[in-house]
Structure 1
Amino acid sequence: MAESTEPLSPRARLAVTAGRAAAAVSRAAGRGSGSVIGGRVALKLDPELLRRLAGHLDVVLVSATNGKTTTTRLIAEALRAGGEVVSNALGANMPAGITSALSGGSSARYGVIEVDEKYLAAVARDVSPKAIALLNLSRDQLDRAAETRMLAERWREGLQGSKATVIANADDPLVVWAASSSTSVVWVAAGQEWKDDAWSCPACGGVLQRPDDTWACSECGFSRPEPTWVLAGDSVLDPYGSAWPIRLQLPGRANKANATTAAAVAATFGISPQVALERMQSVAAVAGRYDVVTYQGRDLRLLLAKNPAGWLETFSLIDPPPTPVILSVNARSADGTDTSWLWDVDYARLAGHPICVVGDRRLDLAVRLEVAGLEFHVCDSLAEAVRLCPPGRIETIANYTAFQDLRRTVGN
C-alpha cells in the first residue's frame, strides 16, 4: 500500500471545498456532473493538488484510444476485493476531472484512474502510479489529436524511468513500442481487430509482417513479445498456464480482452484471477453503455462508437439482421470536428439491417451510407427514427456527444 501522507494543507482543503462548490453549482444549473469545472477551480487554487490527493493511494492508470472507461470500471471492481477504491468512473479523464474524482477518496486504498492518451505522462508524474495499463492506440479526433505514432512516442518518453509496472497489449505494435521503454512490463495477448494504424514499424518505419496472430518487422526485427496473460476464447490464461473462465454481463470479444487486462492488473496487487473475474461479473453497464432502455414503447440498446476502431468492435456486438439500427453522429468539440473518419468505417457490415440516421452530422453519415450501397432513412429526431423502425429491439450506435444526447432523450 502507498505510504500515507500528511493531512491536506489549509490551501489544499480550501481548493477541494471550492472545487466541490463549483461542481455543485454546475449540476444545479444542468451543465453536467461538474467534475471538470470543479477540478479546474481546485487546481487553480492549488496546482499541486492532484499529487497531494494521490499521495496515500496505490494508483492504477488506464489509457487507450478505445476501452479505457470499461477497463477502468472492471479493474475498480476487482480491486474492491482488497479495499476501498476511488475512481473517475464517469470518464472525466483529464487532470481536472481526475482531481475532482480523487478529492472524494480520502479513505480509499486504491485509485483507479482513466487517463486521456495525451495526458498520460503528465498525470503519471503527478500520481506516481503502481501500475499503468495500456490497451491500444488508433486514430481519433483527427482535427486535433496527434498522429498515433506521435502519441506512442509521448508514451515511450513518459514511461522511461517510471517505477510503475506496465500492463500492455502485446498485439498492438504501437503499444509495445511505447511500453518497451519501461523497466517492468507484463505483456497481455488481448488482440487487435483494427490494424489500419499499425502496418508500419513504429521503431524504424518498415513494413510489419502479420502472419497468423503475431507480427514482426522484416527490416529491424522489432516483434511481438511473448505474452504471459492470454485471452483464450472464454477464458483467461494466467502466467502459470491456469485457465480462468470469463463470465461477463458486458457483451463481445473486446470486453473479454478488457477483462483479461483487468485480471493482469489485479494480480499486480495480489488479487487472484478467480476473485478478480468473479467480481467483474457484477458490471452490467458502464456510464450508460450497453444499457437497454425503453423509449416510446420500444427497447433500445445504447452502444458507443467514437472512431473507426470502436465502430468495428461495435458492429460485432449487434444482433443479426433484420434487427433495426439507429446511427447518430455529431462533430462537436468533444468528438473532434473532422468527420472524414466516417470513410474508414466499413458500414457495408450493416447490410440487411433497417437503418435510420440522426444527429448533427446525419447528412455526412448519409452520404457515407449511400456510397456503401445501403438503404436508410434520414430523421430529424430519435422519436422519428424509432417510429420508422420495424418491430424488435433497436440497436442504437452513437459517437461521444451524440451518445450523451441519446441518453438525455431517453432519460438514461
Structure 2
Amino acid sequence: MDTPTLPPRSRAALAAGATARWGSRVTGRGAGSTIGGRVALSLDPSLLRRLADGRRVVVVTGTNGKTTTTRMLAAALATLGPVATNSEGANMAGGLVTALAAAADAPIAVLEVDELHLPRIAEALQPAVIVLLNVSRDQLDRVGETHQIERQLRAMLARHPHTLVVANCDDVLAASAAYDCARVQWVAAGEGWAGDSVSCPRSGEVIVCEPGHWHSRGAPLQRPKPHWWTDNEALHGPDGWRAPLRPALPGEVNRGNAALAIAAAVAMGADPVAATQAVTLVSEVAGRYRKVRLGEHTARILLAKNPAGWQQALTLLDPAAAGCVIAVNGREADGQDLSWLWDVDFSPMVTRTVIACGERRADLAVRLTYADLPHACGSDVIAAIRACPPGPVEVLANYSAFVQINRLLQRVHG
C-alpha cells in the first residue's frame, strides 16, 4: 500500500500527525509515536482501517511479553520481506497508525496491541493471526479484573472466526479465551503467575494444577495438547519437526516468547528454520536487557510492570551481580496504585546490595523492610549504580522509570 493512494483527508491527517511527532521529539517529550497517531486519528477516524487495508496483519496481545514477542516475530517475518511494526511498544490506536504509516509499502504488519483495546482495534485491522500470550493482573487502578479481560478477549475472538489464534496453552486465562476457536495453534510457552489463575474463568471453580497439565473442576476446560513446545535445547513443532533453540535473550520466559513468535511466523508462511534463526538473533528489545558500562560497573536494564513481570524478571538476575538497583514510579503509565508490590517475592535479592530509587522509592522501601531485605534509598540512579560493588549490576524498573533510566544513560554516554 502506498500512502499517496489515500484520500486527501487521510493524507492531511498523516501530515498533521507527522508535525505533532516532530514537535514531541524536538521538545524532548518523547518519540512522538503515540501523539502523532492520535492527532492523525482525530482528523480521520478511519485512518487505521485504511492503513491496514491490503496487508496481512499479525497482532500480539497479552499482559506480559508483548514488546519482546512482537520484536521476535517481526524478525522472523522479515525473512519473507518488509514488515511494518511498532517496535517501541506504542500499542494503542495512535501508535499503530504511526507504525503503519512509517512502512507504507510493507505487505506484512506485526503489531503489539494493548489487550484492553484489542476488541475495538481488531475490527479495523482484521488480523490474519492473533498471538495470545497471557492474562494476569496489571495496573490495578486502571486495568480490569482478569476474568473480565478474558471474557472480552473470548468474545472478540468469536467475532473473528477466520482468524488463526496462536495461544499459550500453559496460561489458564489465555487458553480459556481461545478454547472455542475453530482455528488455533497451541504453544506451551509457560505460565509465570499461577496465582492469577486459581479459579476457572468459566465456572468459578478451582483450577487443579498438575505437572504438565491443568484442568477446571467445574467446566470442561483443561490444558490443550500443544502443537509447539520447548525443552532445554530445542523447539518442537507439528509432525515431529525439531530445531535447536538458543535465544540471545535470557530466561525461560523468553524461550516461551520465542516459541510463540516462531509458531505465528510459520502460520504466516515463514520457513521454520529461517524463522528460528532470526528469532535467536534478537538480543535487545527497546532498551530491555541493554547493558551499559559505567566505570567499574556494567548495568543491565530490566523492565517489570506488574507482579508476574517482576517475578519473571527476578528469575533472570545474574548470580555474579552483587548489586541491584530497583526504580519504581507511580505515574499514569505505571498505575498509581502500587499495592501489587506486596505480591512480589523479593527473596532472590538476598545477599545483594539493594538500592531503592524512583519517585515511589519510599513505598518500595517499606515493602523491602517487611521482606527483611537490607537496602538503601537513593534519588539518583547513576549514583546508585556506582554505589554498588564493582562488576555487574542489575537495574529493575517499572515503565516510566525504565524510560527515564534509558534517557539518563543515553545522556551519560553522550
TM-score (norm 2): 0.96
The C-alpha deviation readout for 1:107-164, integer Å capped at 9, x for no partner, is 1011000000101111111011000000001101001100011011110111113121
- Superposed displacement of residue 43, structure 1: 0.5
Match of 1:83, as an amino acid? G
The C-alpha deviation readout for 1:77-123, integer Å capped at 9, x for no partner, is 00011111000000000001111111112210110000001011111
| 1:35 aligned partner | 33
SS of the residue 1:210 aligns to: strand
- Superposed displacement of residue 181, structure 1: 3.6
Moved over 4 A (4+): 3-6
| 2:9 aligned partner | 11
SS of the residue 2:136 aligns to: coil
| 1:288 aligned partner | 287
Q: Distance in 2 between matches of 1:284 and 1:408?
A: 19
Change (3 A) 1:392 1:296: closer
1:62-81 mapped onto 2 (5 Å cutoff): 62-81=60-79
| 1:196 aligned partner | 195
The C-alpha deviation readout for 1:21-52, integer Å capped at 9, x for no partner, is 11111111111111111111111111000000
Match of 1:344, as an amino acid? D
Match of 2:150, as an amino acid? A
1:134-145 mapped onto 2 (5 Å cutoff): 134-145=132-143
- Superposed displacement of residue 320, structure 1: 1.6
Q: Distance in 1 between matches of 2:25 and 2:296?
A: 30
- Superposed displacement of residue 5, structure 1: 11
Q: Distance in 2 between matches of 1:387 and 1:126?
A: 48
SS of the residue 1:118 aligns to: coil
Q: Distance in 2 between matches of 1:359 and 1:19?
A: 32
> Is the Cα–Cα contact under 8 Å of residues 321 and 353 in structure 1 kept in the other structure?
no
> Is the Cα–Cα contact under 8 Å of residues 77 and 279 in structure 1 kept in the other structure?
yes
1:6-405 mapped onto 2 (5 Å cutoff): 7-162=5-160, 163-320=162-319, 323-405=322-404
Q: Distance in 2 between matches of 1:383 and 1:152?
A: 40
Range that drifts further, 5-14 or 48-57: 5-14
TM-score (norm 1): 0.97
**Unaligned residue ranges in structure 2 (runs of 5+):** none
> Is the Cα–Cα contact under 8 Å of residues 304 and 398 in structure 1 kept in the other structure?
yes
Range that drifts further, 356-365 or 278-287: 278-287
> Is the Cα–Cα contact under 8 Å of residues 61 and 115 in structure 2 kept in the other structure?
yes
SS of the residue 2:80 aligns to: coil
User: Number of matched residues?
Assistant: 410
> Is the Cα–Cα contact under 8 Å of residues 321 and 392 in structure 2 kept in the other structure?
no
Match of 2:277, as an amino acid? E
The C-alpha deviation readout for 1:311-361, integer Å capped at 9, x for no partner, is 111111111266211111001000000000000000122111111111011
SS of the residue 1:240 aligns to: helix
SS of the residue 1:411 aligns to: helix
Match of 2:97, as an amino acid? T
RMSD between aligned residues? 1.5
Range that drifts further, 103-112 or 383-392: 383-392
> Is the Cα–Cα contact under 8 Å of residues 294 and 410 in structure 1 kept in the other structure?
no
- Superposed displacement of residue 182, structure 1: 2.4
- Superposed displacement of residue 221, structure 1: 3.0
> Is the Cα–Cα contact under 8 Å of residues 322 and 352 in structure 2 kept in the other structure?
yes
Q: Distance in 2 between matches of 1:6 and 1:124?
A: 25
Name the % identity: 44
- Superposed displacement of residue 244, structure 1: 1.1
- Superposed displacement of residue 285, structure 1: 0.3
The C-alpha deviation readout for 1:176-212, integer Å capped at 9, x for no partner, is 1111242211111111121110010111000010011
Match of 1:46, as an amino acid? D
Q: Distance in 2 between matches of 1:346 and 1:139?
A: 15
**Unaligned residue ranges in structure 1 (runs of 5+):** none
Q: Distance in 1 between matches of 2:15 and 2:220?
A: 54
> Is the Cα–Cα contact under 8 Å of residues 72 and 89 in structure 1 kept in the other structure?
yes
SS of the residue 1:318 aligns to: coil
Q: Distance in 1 between matches of 2:140 and 2:301?
A: 24
SS of the residue 2:317 aligns to: coil
Match of 1:179, as an amino acid? A
The C-alpha deviation readout for 1:154-175, integer Å capped at 9, x for no partner, is 1011111312100000011111
Q: Distance in 2 between matches of 1:401 and 1:379?
A: 17
> Is the Cα–Cα contact under 8 Å of residues 321 and 393 in structure 2 kept in the other structure?
no
The C-alpha deviation readout for 1:342-389, integer Å capped at 9, x for no partner, is 000001221111111110111111111111111111112113312321
The C-alpha deviation readout for 1:200-259, integer Å capped at 9, x for no partner, is 011100001001121001222311111111122231100112221112211111111000
> Is the Cα–Cα contact under 8 Å of residues 308 and 341 in structure 1 kept in the other structure?
yes
Q: Distance in 2 between matches of 1:334 and 1:374?
A: 27
SS of the residue 2:213 aligns to: coil
